[in-house]
Amino acid sequence: MIEDETRYTKDYTLVNMALILGKQFKYVFDFGYEWAFQFKVLRILDEPIDSPTVVRNKE
């Protein structure tokens, strides 16, 4: 990250991404600590939901 660049997680939302079925993407939860998570788009819902749901993890 560029030192003088300020980024906020609230400025990056999934609804603004062009998600494609079967594609993977990395989600950085906290730009300061660089907590990164790898995701794969398993399905795309027609209607919005109230909150995201984890359907599977690799633990």
* Range 12-20, long-range pairs (CB < 8 A, 24+ positions): 14/52, 19/44
pTM: 0.57
Domain count for the chain: 1
Domain assignment of residue 53, yes or no: no
Tokens of 21: 């079925």
Domain assignment of residue 28, yes or no: yes
Domain assignment of residue 51, yes or no: no
Domain that residue 30 falls in: 9-40
pLDDT tens profile 4-45: 677 776 777 777 788 899 999 888 777 678 788 888 888 888
Q: Are 1 and 31 in contact (CB under 8 A)?
A: yes
